[in-house]
């Protein structure tokens, strides 16, 4: 069993990575479509997410190109992976054309489990939690 370890690392740069005790992430890309010279790779929201534990959704990591999370040294066995999402950067009033590009693929153990995943569409709006579960086996 793994205990939750928060993602509180404000790393910047077009290619960054973090390796913690049990997990890590890599992030690549540069936000070139704005006039801000120093990119921010996390966002925070003052709006409450409709969820059992809204504090889980106050901050989020973002990436213009590629973002991957990974875990280390799982023992052989079956695992139930719970993935938590909420759209906290854009409100429901934002133009859909801007949100339509916010889709991504989700892989677990190298297997594609959701293609073209859109948090806003899955939640039917912003500031609502989405939890997806997938069973996987480590050998």
> CA-to-CA distance for 52 and 72, rounded, in angstroms?
28
**In tens digits, what is the pLDDT along the chain, a chain of 139 residues?**
555 566 666 666 677 777 777 788 888 777 776 666 666 777 788 888 988 888 888 888 777 777 887 777 778 899 898 999 998 888 887 665 554 467 888 988 888 999 999 888 999 989 999 999 999 998 8
What per-residue confidence (pLDDT) applies to 3?
Answer: 58
The pTM for the full model equals 0.76
């Amino acid at each position: 069993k793994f205990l939750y370890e928060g993602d509180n690392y404000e790393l910047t740069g077009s290619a960054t990575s973090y390796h913690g005790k049990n997990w890590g992430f890599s992030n690549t890309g540069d936000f070139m479509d704005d006039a801000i010279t120093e990119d921010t790779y996390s966002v925070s929201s003052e709006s409450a997410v409709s969820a059992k534990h809204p504090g889980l959704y106050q901050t989020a990591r973002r990436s213009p190109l590629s973002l991957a999370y990974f875990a280390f040294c799982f023992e052989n066995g079956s695992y139930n992976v719970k993935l938590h999402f909420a759209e906290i950067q854009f409100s429901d009033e934002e133009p859909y054309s801007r949100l339509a590009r916010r889709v991504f693929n989700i892989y677990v153990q190298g297997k594609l489990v959701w293609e073209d995943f859109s948090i806003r569409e899955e939640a039917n709006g912003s500031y609502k939690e989405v939890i997806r579960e997938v069973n996987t086996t480590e050998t």
